[in-house]
Amino acid sequence: MHRRNGTIGRQNPSSRIYDNVDCIDYGEDGWNNKPQDALGYLQVAISYDRPTSRIIVRVVAARGLKMRDPSRRLAPNPFVKIYLLPGRKVSNKRRTRFVPCSTDPEWNQIVEWPVSPGSLPSLYLEFSVWDYDRLTENNALGQVTVSLADHTLLSGQPCWLPLQPTDPRPVTHLLNAPLDSERPHVYHYNPASLDIGYPAIN
């Protein structure tokens, strides 16, 4: 019996939004009961600090990301972009630095947003993983969205979330929010040039 060292989200098929979590085993044989279409897994820890009214997210790691070029065994340079939804504004965006040449990156970086307690049930966090390329467009590696209405996600405990193909339409349709101005599969700024604590710049 392997020790449970992570949780995986249970998905709402109609919207790709994860609103609660169940523990799964991740041991010597890999993932148990993993989704067939997962593009990898992202580990995050989400908490809410009531004294300061802030959502705090620790982006821990990812596992099983796809290779940039499997034939040459060329790994991606992954980084994570996080949006607090609704509202695709620069002030709602955060991101990590990229990790060079890794399908199993570790970041252990913290981002946060000021959020009033009463607004939590209407908010979502969208995580998308990208492959940073200095010479060409950045490529999307996967995406997952979680609902902050579920208080079990706000325990501060790390949880593993399965990444799905990057597509903002299900979430933006649900939230009636404007689409991001970025194309869904490319990214155009250097995530290593800014500190994680500041909003990203388009």
What the block records as the tokens of 176 is: 């009636």
Percent of the chain with pLDDT over 70: 64
Which of the residue ranges 68-72, 75-79, 90-94 would you say has the lowest mean pLDDT? 68-72
Tens digits of per-residue pLDDT, 127-172? 999 999 988 899 999 999 999 998 888 999 999 999 999 865 545 4
Tens digits of per-residue pLDDT, 93-115? 999 999 999 999 999 999 999 99
What the block records as the tokens of 136 is: 């060409």
H or E segment at 139?
strand 139-147
Let me know: does 129 contact 79? Beta carbons within 8 Å: yes
Residue 26, CA distances (Å) to 41, 65, 156, 160, 163 in order: 11, 16, 19, 10, 16
Instruction: Please determine, looking at this structure, whether the domain spanning 6-175 carries the CATH number 2.60.40.150.
Output: yes
What average pLDDT does the segment 83-89 reach?
91
- Give me the pLDDT at residue 181, please: 38
Q: CA 91, CA 93: separation in Å to the nearest integer?
A: 6
